[in-house]
Amino acid sequence: MRPARIIVAASALALAATALSACSSTSSDPNTIKIAYERIPDNSVRVMDDYLALVKSKFEKEYPGKHVDLIPVTAAENDYYTKIEQMMRSPRTAPDLVYEDTFLINSDIKAGYLKPLDSYVNSWSDWSRFLATAKSSVTAQDGKVYGVPDGTDTRGLWFNKTIFARAGLPSTWQPKDWNDILTAARTIKAKVPGVIPLNVYTGKSPGEASVMQGFEMLAYGTGSDPLYNPQTKKWVPAGQGFTDALDFMHTVYSQKLGPDISDADDPNVQAVVGTEWLPEGKVAIDLDGSWMGNNWLPTGGKPWPQWSQVLGTAAMPTEYGQAPGAVSMSGGWAWAIPAKSQRADLAFQFVKTLQTEQNAATYDIRSANIAVRKDVAADHNYLTSMPGIDFFTKLVQYTHYRPALPVYPQVSTAIGQAMESVVTGQSSTADAVKAYDQQLASITAGDGQ
């Protein structure tokens, strides 16, 4: 068993027990597949719930006598990861299909949680329609495929044009470097008091929202491979780019350009940003993901018809504006079959229904995902589905991916701790870097993977 990467609170364990009980209720039925997926707490966005209900109805009509048991796991992102791992440990509780963050694939394989899918995808004609980058995100170190991706994402800067106008800033804002971002935030603080000038996710509680959307969006704009060197296959100690990213975080929070630390450290802060801060004009600039618009659709958690007129988008610049000039991070989720599933064949039939061209396009449109199927990416309905979809799709050329290696979740936790210690003033950047390097050496001792 791999080392635990998250401490689960008693309330989280209680919710996990509920999910486990729900899974075991149909474990002996050979005609029922159990599907576990994330539902974000305190968020009325139910895109996945509605989509899965739609596909469940289609599947049960296509396969008479077969049934689908949908098991939403209500949890913040980090707790969700822990809960589905608990579920996958036993044949009694293992789902037949699980929604897996692609950065966890190698670590979950090492733990023995996932089943390789090569025998399924190799005989599935639609697999050839998936983008090579999408396939690589679900291909493990052993060369085998362990999931079917349903979309990807990119990240950039959202900004409120109304607040910008009050601050005397242009509606066509495109910062050239980090200093341009800080200058705009300082201008907003001085001229538009009462709003959060700049939201950059930080700290431990928000998990990958902080590490990927905050720290790594900075670090990967300082130079190539700031965390892991793919040529040497070694994790690298914190260099100048790592230090500069922490210094940027320190500047944002020490100069009161960001949200209060207590708000930033909320594990559900992403939902708050999407359903409160942005639509209610409480934040001027938000470093965030391509999917944010699904909060504001008529079916979203905070319908906001004016959002495409109020909000602008800008690419996140590199530190000094050096080539290529912009940076993005991409992730994505995939449908994986647990190794202890008792109905893997039927589960993959459901995956094929999930990922027909029509169903894939429906989900990407509803969820504001970046398409990973070539046919969907060329679909007119997809391309015109939401303001900004072209902008975020173009950021793919600048994007980077997290090192999807077994120890990455522990490295991520160490980065989160470094950020938190700096933004709360518990330690200097230099001390945080030293502590990170010590943790990294311990985490990657041995094979370093």
Residue 128 belongs to some domain of the structure:
yes
Strand-pair category, 283-289 with 155-160: antiparallel
Q: How many CA atoms lie within 13 A of 338 on its CB side?
A: 27
The set of long-range contacts for 352-361, using a CB threshold of 8 Å and a minimum separation of 24, is 352/124, 352/126, 353/55, 353/58, 353/59, 353/62, 354/55, 354/148, 354/150, 355/126, 355/148, 355/150, 356/126, 357/126, 357/129, 359/54, 359/55, 359/58, 360/150
Residue 401 belongs to some domain of the structure:
no
Q: Which amino acid is at 91?
A: P
Is 382 a residue whose pLDDT tops 70?
Answer: yes
Q: What confidence category does residue 305 fall into, taking pLDDT thresholds of 50, 70 and 90?
A: very high
Residue 448 belongs to some domain of the structure:
no
Q: Please tell me whether residues 201 and 97 are part of one structural domain.
A: no
Look at residue 406 in the predicted model and tell me its pLDDT. Answer: 85
Look at residue 4 in the predicted model and tell me its pLDDT. Answer: 28
Render pLDDT for 232-248 as a digit per residue (tens, 0 to 9).
989 999 999 999 999 99
Q: What confidence category does residue 89 fall into, taking pLDDT thresholds of 50, 70 and 90?
A: very high
Is 437 a residue whose pLDDT tops 70?
Answer: yes
Q: What confidence category does residue 45 fall into, taking pLDDT thresholds of 50, 70 and 90?
A: low
Look at residue 385 in the predicted model and tell me its pLDDT. Answer: 85
Average pLDDT over the chain, rounded to an integer: 90
Average of per-residue pLDDT across 274-303: 92
Strand-pair category, 155-160 with 311-314: antiparallel
Q: Please tell me whether residues 46 and 95 are part of one structural domain.
A: yes
Strand-pair category, 228-229 with 234-235: antiparallel
Cα maximum dimension of the chain:
65
Q: Please tell me whether residues 437 and 344 are part of one structural domain.
A: no
Is 255 a residue whose pLDDT tops 50?
Answer: yes
DSSP string, 199-251: E---SSTTTHHHIIIIIIHHHTTSSS-SSEETTTTEE----HHHHHHHHHHHH
Cβ–Cβ < 8 Å for 305, 374: no
Tell me the sheet residues that pair with 329: 400
Spatial separation of the C-alpha atoms in residues 371 and 369, rounded to whole Å: 6
Look at residue 21 in the predicted model and tell me its pLDDT. Answer: 46
Structure tokens at 393: 């799709």
Show the domain range for 322: 155-330+407-443
Q: Please tell me whether residues 241 and 323 are part of one structural domain.
A: yes
Look at residue 141 in the predicted model and tell me its pLDDT. Answer: 82
Is 316 a residue whose pLDDT tops 60?
Answer: yes
Cα angle for residues 294, 295, 299 (degrees, 5° grid): 75
Q: What confidence category does residue 25 fall into, taking pLDDT thresholds of 50, 70 and 90?
A: very low
Q: Please tell me whether residues 256 and 122 are part of one structural domain.
A: no
Look at residue 200 in the predicted model and tell me its pLDDT. Answer: 98
Spatial separation of the C-alpha atoms in residues 274 and 267, rounded to whole Å: 14
Average of per-residue pLDDT across 121-137: 93
Cβ–Cβ < 8 Å for 404, 134: no
Q: What confidence category does residue 331 fall into, taking pLDDT thresholds of 50, 70 and 90?
A: confident
CATH number at residue 86: 3.40.190.10
DSSP string, 401-419: E----TTHHHHHHHHHHHH
φ, ψ for residue 261, nearest 5 deg: -55, -40
Strand-pair category, 155-160 with 234-235: unpaired
Q: Please tell me whether residues 413 and 349 are part of one structural domain.
A: no
Q: Please tell me whether residues 35 and 114 are part of one structural domain.
A: yes
Point out the least confidently predicted range of 26-30, 285-289, 433-437: 26-30
Cβ–Cβ < 8 Å for 102, 147: yes
Most confident stretch, 355-364, 377-386, 439-448: 355-364
Residue 225 belongs to some domain of the structure:
yes
Print the SS3 string covering 174-187.
CCCCHHHHHHHHHH
Cα angle for residues 312, 292, 278 (degrees, 5° grid): 60
In sign, the C-alpha dihedral spanning 100, 106, 108, 109 is: positive
Q: Please tell me whether residues 117 and 223 are part of one structural domain.
A: no
Q: Please tell me whether residues 149 and 172 are part of one structural domain.
A: no
Q: Please tell me whether residues 213 and 186 are part of one structural domain.
A: yes
Structure tokens at 177: 């470097």
Look at residue 228 in the predicted model and tell me its pLDDT. Answer: 94
Residue 120 belongs to some domain of the structure:
yes
Please state, in angstroms and as integers, the Cα–Cα distance from residue 203 to each residue in 291, 411, 441, following that order: 22, 14, 21
Residue 29 belongs to some domain of the structure:
yes
Render pLDDT for 144-203 as a digit per residue (tens, 0 to 9).
999 999 989 999 999 999 999 999 999 999 999 999 999 999 999 999 999 999 999 999
* Nearest in space to 401 (alpha carbons), one of 106, 39, 81: 106
Look at residue 44 in the predicted model and tell me its pLDDT. Answer: 61
Q: Please tell me whether residues 113 and 181 are part of one structural domain.
A: no
Is 2 a residue whose pLDDT tops 50?
Answer: no
Residue 2 belongs to some domain of the structure:
no
φ, ψ for residue 215, nearest 5 deg: -60, -50
Q: Please tell me whether residues 338 and 269 are part of one structural domain.
A: no
Count up the domains in the chain and report the number: 2
Q: Is 157 helix (H, G, I), strand (E, B) or coil?
A: strand
Residue 92 belongs to some domain of the structure:
yes
